[in-house]
Amino acid sequence: MTKEITVSPSRLEHGRWCHNANKMIGEGDIAASYSADRIGGEQPIRKPFSHAGGLWVAGGTCGGSANAYRLVHPSCFDGQTFTYGVRVADGYRGRRDKDGFYHGMQVKHRGQTMVLCGPEVKFVAGQEQQGDLFG
């Protein structure tokens, strides 16, 4: 069962594109970290979000929630790591990983190779809280 963590809804907001400012307006830090498209293309991930003293990356967002993984340095990861290409080459085996599909996935962040660490956690919208922006 996936662990759920309740956060302020504003952290999960997708925002809207402002043509005048040429940027997203009102996008929450969790939604902004969504990087599945970048990971699949083996490109650097988007800016991670902070929660409970760690960095996290969303691998999926849907209807007021986001599934995310901790982002750790390879020296802090105890297990086998792999690239996206290696993970999908074994068919659906990765989809059955108890810690989630992205567990052990090597990603690029700020020019460094980092690792996504499961288990996958679901961040869900709860009450808006003052000071929740940085978890």
Q: For 91-116, write each residue's pLDDT tens digit.
A: 767 778 889 999 999 999 999 999 99
- pTM score of the predicted model: 0.88
In a domain, 135, yes or no: no
Distance of alpha carbon 1 from alpha carbon 129, whole angstroms: 26
Average pLDDT over residues 52-71: 95
Range of the domain at 26: 3-125
In a domain, 133, yes or no: no
Could you tell me the pLDDT band of residue 133, with boundaries at 50, 70 and 90? Answer: low
Say yes or no to pLDDT of 59 above 80.
Answer: yes
In a domain, 131, yes or no: no
Q: Name the percent of the chain in helix, strand, coil, to the closest 5.
A: 20, 40, 40
Q: Which residue has the tokens 């808006």?
A: 128
Structural domain count, the chain: 1
Q: What percent of the chain has pLDDT over 70?
A: 94
Residue 42 · residue 19 · CB < 8 Å: no
Average pLDDT over residues 10-39: 94
Query: 82-112 in b/e burial notation, b at 16+ Cβ within 10 A?
Result: bebeebeeeeeebeeeeebbbbbbbbebeee
Could you tell me the pLDDT band of residue 48, with boundaries at 50, 70 and 90? Answer: very high
- Name the nearest CA neighbour of 65 among 133, 126, 24: 126
In a domain, 43, yes or no: yes
